[in-house]
């Protein structure tokens, strides 16, 4: 019984993380659509700047600033410089949301 309870709690925790991840990804996608002025952009965790024709160095800065404004957080230069894909950006946003007082 205890084993089943622990397994159910683990699954529930995983589902909550996935649900939160999708919320952040959806919000990031909407921000990207506004910044890149392209309503058809579809982001996934594996998407990189190379996958989006409008995503250049200037629009990257604009995207970061828009995300900071939307989510009420600030990122360090090293954090932004280490991002390899949208999934890493989502993780960074989620980390910021957890450390931001509600």
pLDDT category of residue 21 using cuts at 50, 70 and 90: low
Token pair, residue 54, equals: 């409008």
CATH superfamily label, 21-99: ACP-like (1.10.1200.10)
> Averaged over 1-23, what is the pLDDT?
49
Q: What is the DSSP string of 55-102?
A: --HHHHHHHHHHHHHHHT----HHHHHT--SHHHHHHHHHHHHHHS--
Confidence of residue 11 (pLDDT cuts 50, 70, 90): very low
**pLDDT tens, residue by residue, 24-62:** 999 999 999 999 999 999 999 999 999 999 999 999 999
Q: Is the pLDDT of residue 4 over 60?
A: no
Residue of 92 and 2 predicted with greater confidence: 92
pLDDT value at position 98?
86
Domain positions in the chain are 21-99
What tens digit of pLDDT does each residue of 83-93 get?
A: 999 999 999 99
């Amino acid at each position: 019984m205890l084993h089943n309870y622990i397994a159910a709690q683990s699954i529930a925790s995983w589902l909550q993380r996935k649900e939160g991840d999708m919320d952040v990804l959806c919000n990031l996608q909407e921000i990207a659509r506004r910044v890149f002025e392209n309503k058809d952009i579809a982001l996934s965790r594996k998407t990189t700047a190379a996958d989006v024709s409008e995503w250049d160095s200037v629009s990257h800065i604009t995207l970061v600033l828009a995300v900071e404004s939307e989510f009420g957080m600030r990122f360090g230069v090293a954090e932004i410089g280490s991002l390899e894909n949208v999934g890493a950006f989502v993780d960074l946003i989620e980390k910021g949301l957890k450390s931001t007082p509600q």
